A = this chain, B = another copy of it.
Amino acid sequence: MTGMKPFKTLLPRAEALRIIEGNIGRVGRIEEVSIEGASGRVLAEDVTAGFSVPPFNRASMDGYAVRAEDTFGASGFNPNRLKMIGVQHAGEFFEGIVGKGECVQVATGSPVPEGSDAVVMVEFTKLDGDYVEIQKPAYPGANISPVGEDIKTGDTVIEEGEMLTPAKVGALAALNRETIRVYEKPRVAVFSTGSEIKPLGSDLSPSQIYDVNSYTLASIISANGCEPVIKGIVPDDRESIEASILDAASHDLGVFSGGSSVGVRDLFGEVVEELGEVLFHGLQVKPGKPTLFGIVEGTPIFGMPGYPTSCLSNAYIFLTPALRAMAGLSPAEPRRVAARMSARFVSSSGREQFLTVRVRDGVAFPAFKKSGAITSMAHADGYIILPVNLDVIEEGAEVEVTLFS
């Protein structure tokens, strides 16, 4: 009859997050990946330019490479006529030198021939046999990207620890980096406990339900830069719980859900304490009171509530920051929208409450009929946070909804 004890002290959310943050480190293992699939990964090296980009003075417009002084005073009514001495195709190299009164046709991206110091856009020119009418003056340097304008040899272009974006992947390509060293995705072991929980595909007896939490947790883990390893369901006995906690400790993080059946909740906490250290057990939040966080053999271990919506809700709030910190990603920046409450809501939990809502036309509707149904959660848009000391939100009151995605 042990295990029926209520929690002694409940930790506020901010304190729990501080404890998590203080005990999570970035995973340092490194792998080399192709830049083709590297967007979203975290760089494990400083990327330094081995050459300048552009590697030559480059035309940034289609037009004519000229000596700028030859264009001074030109206008549509009084164009300056320059002799076209050749064509500079992109990807080729024009050998001649642009002299006084001369020009060379250039295309966007092509080198600017020697002797010229400006490009006049084709829009302000007119071709007339071997001559080009220049209808607008250009200043020296006009429409030219000088060598090294983008990247100079030796520049550190992207630094260790930065997350690769499409533009950063582009910078890697510009520097001829086909592969790149990134941090490995942290491996997160996921276990479900509770003897009423059965694996998908099995037959259920009338008191059993299917494992939901392994799949919601794996989705959250993947979405935050980590690699989930679904380990299945742990039998409700000390030996099995011990073995699975030790198995979890061989990963970068272990996440257990459930253990809500009589005795198991405390048994789990006891075993974590025995093998390592429990840093908190019991949170002043609703849903999600029974959340546990500890360290075993240097590996952080989460014990999440067994109720699927409580488990998922707490995963968004407490697990996500841990996952992102391990992966080296910056904290998720939540999107928030203002809304008005659809109806009066009364809470008297004495805990900070996360109220899951749907938002329609600026109105927030509580998503749950009664207890935490996973289907209601499936169509919720986000949540409202009710402080510990707030018991009532009136109908029509303005609330801030944090969106799930």
Instruction: Provide the bound-state CA to CA distance between A158 and B376, in Å.
Output: 11
Name the B residues within 8 Å of A54 (CB-CB): 209
Which of B109, B150, B170 contacts A306 (CB under 8 A)? B109
Pair A90/B215 contact, Cβ less than 8 Å: no
CA distance A260 to B108 in the complex (A): 6
- Tell me which of A70-78, A194-202, A274-282 binds B: A194-202
Provide the bound-state CA to CA distance between A210 and B50, in Å. 13
Residues in B with CB closer than 8 Å to A220 are 166
Q: Which residues of B contact A170 (CB under 8 A)?
A: 212-213, 215-216, 219, 308, 312, 374, 377-378
**Quick check: is A35 within 8 A (CB to CB) of the other chain?**
yes
- A9 touches B (CB below 8 Å): no
Q: Are B174 and A109 in contact (CB under 8 A)?
A: no
Q: How many residues of chain A get a CB closer than 8 Å to chain B's CBs? A: 102
Nearest B residue (CB) for A58: B209
Interchain CB contact under 8 A, B122 and A176:
no
Tell me if A36 and B230 are in contact (CB < 8 A). Answer: yes
CB-CB < 8 A to A122: which residues of B? 4, 6
Question: Which A residues from 163 to 199 make CB contacts under 8 A with B?
Answer: 165-178, 194-197
Q: Does A347 contact B (CB under 8 A)?
A: no
Asked, given contacts A53-B209, A306-B109, whether A371 binds B145 with beta carbons under 8 Å apart, the answer is yes
* A1 interfacial contact with B, CB 8 Å: yes
B107 adjacent to A262 (CB under 8 Å)? yes
A123 beta carbon closer than 8 Å to chain B = yes
Using A210-B174, A262-B105 as known contacts, say yes or no to A92 and B195 having CB atoms under 8 A apart: yes
382-405 of chain A: CB within 8 A of chain B = 404-405
Question: Of residues 63 to 117 in A, which have CB atoms within 8 Å of B's CB atoms?
Answer: 87, 89-93, 105, 107-111
Q: How far is the CA of A234 from the CA of B111 in the complex (A)?
A: 20
**Cβ contacts under 8 Å, A110 to chain B:** 196, 207, 261
* Chain A positions 144-173 with a Cβ under 8 Å from a chain B Cβ: 145, 149-151, 155, 157-158, 165-173
Judge whether A242 is part of the interface by a CB distance below 8 angstroms. no
Q: A40-B223, A173-B200, A178-B200 are in contact. List 12 more A-B contacts (CB 8 A).
A: A4-B105, A55-B204, A108-B307, A109-B261, A109-B306, A111-B207, A149-B370, A157-B375, A171-B375, A173-B210, A173-B215, A333-B335
